Amino acid sequence: MVDYDTQPGRDSPVDADLTQERLDADDVDLRDGLAGVAAMVASALDAGDMLDAVAKFAAHAIPNVDGAGVALVEANHEAGGVRSTVATADFVTEIDAVQYDELREGPCLTAMQSGRPSVSGSLGCDERWPHFGGRVARMGVHSALSLPLVVGDRVIGAINCYARRRDVFAEHAVELGTQFAGPAAVAVFNAQLLSEARERTARLQRALESRAIIDQAIGIVRSRTGSDGDEAFARLVRISQAENVKLHVVAQRLVDEAVRRARLRSHSA
């Protein structure tokens, strides 16, 4: 039995139509979703593309979903900081804005805080989120299933599933969603690490390129003024500060001007 948080004061929906054919079909959808996520990992997608894939595969793998999204815990943010990232339907994006930016309450935030799936079958009368539930119900959305993305003992985000009908996420849907969320969390986490590594590499490359341009500019200043390396660098810094322009921009401008002059001399010779 899956351990999850249900709506207080409301009986959990019963999986009355779970025929063997339905179970087999749902199992195929789950395996397809997991295989899709695994393929995305093998493709070394960046974090944004991975999140988009996870949301789409979740909507396919979990029964009765009308729209799904993925939200991440904001890095280096105060407790509870969340950023909405991707959604498979416009109404999910609208719900996310209400939950994270306006009201600061809802099933995703609860699931992230507890580390447990959170289910609601009638958002309009769910006492856990009195403001959020009413707003979303007036949008014609009545059921929600939020699945925390957990890596080790750390919650990194959540998959959020919504449906327009009431009481559509019974234990079977929660179980399938939980099976999907585990591998999806690892895939998202690894994609984040890959994106961060790529960004660090890009920053290092930019720094090396800037350093090379600055060294060239120092050489130009030395040749024109007869100053040593420290004096030439100090001159570039003074120009940067006086013009409020980054040092590498000043250096690039000086190098470009030297190249332009050299070409003019070569053409006139």
> What is the pLDDT at residue 79?
46
Using 50, 70 and 90 to split pLDDT, how confident is the model at 38? low
At 146 the three-state DSSP class reads strand
Edge-first strand order for the sheet with 67-73 is 82-87, 67-73, 154-163, 143-151, 118-120
Domains of the chain: 20-197 (3.30.450.40), 203-268 (1.10.10.10)
In whole angstroms, what separates CA 187 from the centre of its chain?
12
Using 50, 70 and 90 to split pLDDT, how confident is the model at 6? confident
Three-class secondary structure assignment of 168-200: CCCHHHHHHHHHHHHHHHHHHHHHHHHHHHHHH
Asked whether the whole model's pTM tops 0.85, one would answer no
Identify which of 253, 244, 264 has the alpha carbon closest to the alpha carbon of residue 217: 253
Token couple for 81: 């900081």
pLDDT digits (tens, 9 = 90+) for 207-266: 778 888 888 888 888 888 888 888 888 888 888 888 898 888 888 888 888 888 878 777
Average per-residue pLDDT in the chain?
84
Residue 196 has pLDDT above 70, yes or no: yes
At 97 the three-state DSSP class reads helix
Query: How confident is the model over 177-187, as a mean pLDDT?
Result: 89
